[in-house]
Every structure is written in structure tokens, then in C-alpha cells.
A and B are shown apart, each in its own frame.
Chain A
């Protein structure tokens, strides 16, 4: 019974989750999702998507479609576990931390169960209240569906939105390789850090949280260092 519910949920997700009204650079020819060769947007974009696209252009966002340190982080819109749309552009003016996670991955389980994620959120909020944490699940596996991800956050008392990227377009756009894999975007929308959550490993808590470090340096107006580290953990279980 459980299995069939999960299957139904997955099928439902696949059909209902609209991934990405990606920001298009003013000077970019538009519209290929990196690594897929597929159009980033359906040519039959619905009215809502067109509205969002217009708004993004109005905001003047300049994304070339792939995430690079020091450049504008590509925008995306995904559904949260409670069914709402979440767009990166909505968080403009705040520091955004994207953490790729997968409830099945022991490295994610470690950073969640040992308090690493909770401490990170608390410490970041101690630096600035203008910080938003978002969990991104790009796994295509059925166990990582809506209820699993929501349940995972609830179990670990993490009051942060989680978005589902079942077709993996956003994960590939950001180059997310592992779970966990963290990205820090500053208040002006520029990607400032990507890599490991800390200097630990899948079985051992780290002593230096790179995300909090980056947030502190951003708020102090300093160069982020390190700005890239090697993320550890499971590979992101992309659709193909």
C-alpha cells in the first residue's frame, strides 16, 4: 500500500511540478537548460509563467543559466513541500542558502541528525535575520517524494522550506553534485559560496561551518574565503 501511494505521489509530482521560470540574461540567447539539451521552458508557457518571466526581466536579473561564483545566481521557481511556488527572485534583498539534500543519503542524515543544519541556521540568524534557508531535493527516487521530504524536515524540526526538483534541471543548473551541497547567494543575488556544509565527513561533524563563515564574510563586506570547497556526500540521484 505504501509503495503504491509513493508511486502515485511520484507520478503526481512529475505531472504537476513545473520547474523553473529561469531568469534569462538580457544578453543570453535563451533557453536551453544546461546539460539537458532540452528547452528550459516549454514554448507553450502558461500565463502564470509568462507573468513571472516578465517580472524577472523587470527586476533586471542577469543570469546566464548556470551558477558561477561571483555571478548572478540563476533564478528558478519550484514547488515547496506544502505546494506553494518558491522563486529565488522572491528572496532578493536577503542572503539565500540553498542546501541540496536527500532524506535517503546518510551524509544528509548525519548533518541533520547531529544538529549541524540546525546550528547552521541558528548561527546564521545570529549574524543576520535577513537570511533564507531552502532545502532542494533533486532526487528522482520515489522515496524522496513530497511526503518523505516534508516528513524528514518535520522529524528534524527544521522549519525551512524545501523545494522539489524532481527532473533535476535546477540541480544541474547549479552543478549540485552531492547531498549535502550548499550554495550561498548574497542579497544582490550573486553566488558567493558553493561546496561542503562544513569540514566534516559523512560520519563526523565538522568544526568549521563554511556556510556560516561565508555569511559572516558577506555581512562584513569581505571576500568570501573559501568560496569553493569540495562537497562530500552521496551523489545527487538525478533522473538520468
Chain B
């Protein structure tokens, strides 16, 4: 089953490839399905043209078969996130993939961060600043790899291409509008890029990150990013000395396990996750008492909520 063609370019090659539909309780086994047959994928270009030096977004849309899931960028105790290997015109670069807010699968002895249903991973593509280097038609190629799991896991691979014109055409404009409309609910599942956008703030307080939450926040969940060299403890809700709710996230640093990367305390905070439209934002802090802006963070004394 092919999903509807959706591309931001008038001359786009077919960019959707489909999955078989397996209902709950389906008795098919790994002999009968493949990683490719379980997950449909699309490449959706969120622009109608390529302009020199003007970044644009490209979404890689995955649709999982019922009961099967994919993994967030930090899979947790098992699994692995989908990957996208880009092949772009000369001078183009792709920024890191952005993931939607995951669900937390928490069973005894294993916590994983997963996605089911349909999700969009988004990358910002940055064209070169020199207009002379922008081709009449930019070919974007994405080689996808994913691991999808239910009781078993299967790996899938697929490649997509999209062609984006330098000058907008009627077709590319229509395709862009269609893509925008269709992607809107999927992009709404992404966390905000900063805590400020949800009325929260974060700082380091000794060996814990303290995320001060908007007033009346009842619960908050922390989903850690993949930050080698930082081991997280169990977060707990507290109240600051000024009476604001806060999520205190203890951590332990293990620089020897940082794999050469800068130590970072990072992840997503999800507020009142039980609500139908959870509010979430990403944050990242440098753990040596220096906030992301290079300034020493204001101390945020906290006390245990009783």
C-alpha cells in the first residue's frame, strides 16, 4: 500500500513506500514480514524552492504497523533510533534530525522511549550562501535505516529522493502548501526548542538539574537525551523556595564514558503528560555549573515536596 505522494517538488520522484498492514494479534512471523513491510516512509520537502543561504526543512515520515514501534533518538535500555544518511548537492549541509516527543515504555528492568503510529523526523537543510552554486534542481537523497519492534525486532532500509527547484513553480507551490497542511499535526508532536516557550527554565544545582515549571504544573516527566558520560537518577517533583513547582533531575558524571563529546545534561521535559496535548520542550545544560548561555546559573534552591 503506497501512501499518497507528497513532495515539495513538482518533479519529485515517488517518495512514499509502503508497509503491509498488520492488525493486533496478527500471527504473522518474522518469516512473513520484513522491516520494510512493517513501516511506510516518505520524504516531504517543506519548501517550494531552494534559495541561497536560506535553510528549509525536510520531514522524513514513518508510519508504523499497528502494535509495532520505532525508537526515539535515545532509545533507552534497548532498541536504536532511525537514521538518515543524506546525499545532498555540493555545499549543502543537513542539521541534526529532530524527533517528536516519545512515549515512555516502562516495564520492570527496562525503560525505552518509543514512537508508534505516524511520526515525522525533521532535518533542516542549509544551502550554500552563493546563489551561483544552487542548481536549477536540487536533488536530495535520504538513505533511511530503522529498527521496528513488537515482540521481535526487524531492521528496515529504504532510500528516497526529492527534487526541489531553484525557482518556485505552480506545482511546487501547491505541493508545498499541501505538505504544510499535512505535516502540521505531525510537527505539533515535536517539543519546543527551548523551555522558555513553555514557561519553564532550567539550571544546574550541584549534582542535579532543576527545571522550574509553570505554576500549577501537577506532574512532569523527564526523557533524557543520549548524553554519554551522564547517568541520570530518578527525577522528582519538588517546590522551589519561591513556591514554584520544579522537577529535580539528579545526575552523575562519568567523563570517562563521554566518548570524547562534551558533557551535557539534556533531554525533554513533558508537562502533565496525561493531558491530551502534552506540552514539552527540550533543554541542554553544561554540567560544570555553567549554563548554556555561558553564564553561571542562578541558584534555584529547592525543597522536597511533601
Contacts and interface: CB of A to CB of B under 8 A. Distances in A.
B152 A104 contact: yes
B145 A201 contact: yes
A226 interface: yes
A141 B147 CA distance: 20
A116 interface: no
Nearest to B75: A232
B78 A235 contact: yes
A35 interface: yes
A177 B79 CA distance: 10
Q: Helix, strand, loop or mixed for chain A's interface?
A: loop
For A204, A226, A229, which residue has the most chain B Cβ atoms within 10 angstroms? A226
Interface stretch (A85-93, A105-113, A126-134): A105-113
A83 interface: no
Interface string B254-273: 10111100000000000000
Nearest to B109: A35
B144 to A, nearest CB: 9
B54 to A, nearest CB: 31
Contacts of B30: 104
Contacts of B77: 177-178, 235
Contact of B83 (A203, A225, A226): A203
A151 to B, nearest CB: 16
B154 interface: yes
B152 A234 contact: yes
A106 B147 contact: yes
A107 B109 contact: no
Contacts, number: 88
Contact of A235 (B81, B110, B155, B258): B110
A226 B256 contact: yes
Interface string B237-277: 00000000000000000101111000000000000000000
B226 interface: yes
A229 B147 CA distance: 19
A155 B157 CA distance: 24
Interface in B92-136: 108-110, 112
B96 to A, nearest CB: 15
Contacts of B112: 235
Contacts of A236: 78
Contacts of B235: none
A228 interface: yes
A202 interface: yes
Interface in B162-196: none
A107 B149 contact: no
Interface string A217-240: 000000111111111111111000
B78 A234 contact: yes
A167 interface: no
Interface string A168-202: 00001000011000000000000000000001011
B35 A106 contact: yes
Contacts of B149: 234-235
A237 B79 CA distance: 13
A226 B155 contact: no
Contact of B147 (A203, A225, A228, A237): A203
Among the interface residues A106, A177, A234, A235, which one has the most CB atoms of the partner chain B within 10 A? A235
Q: Which of B79, B80, B154 gathers most chain A CB within 10 Å?
A: B80
Interface of B: 30, 35, 74-75, 77-81, 83, 108-110, 112, 145-147, 149, 151-155, 157, 226, 228, 254, 256-259
29 contacts: A35-B108, A104-B30, A105-B152, A105-B153, A106-B147, A107-B80, A107-B147, A177-B77, A177-B109, A178-B77, A178-B78, A202-B145, A202-B147, A203-B147, A226-B257, A226-B258, A227-B256, A227-B257, A228-B254, A229-B257, A230-B226, A230-B228, A232-B80, A233-B78, A233-B153, A234-B152, A235-B77, A235-B78, A235-B110
Given A107-B153, A110-B155, A177-B77, 15 more contacts: A106-B35, A106-B153, A107-B147, A172-B109, A178-B78, A201-B83, A201-B145, A202-B153, A226-B256, A226-B258, A230-B74, A232-B79, A232-B80, A234-B78, A235-B112
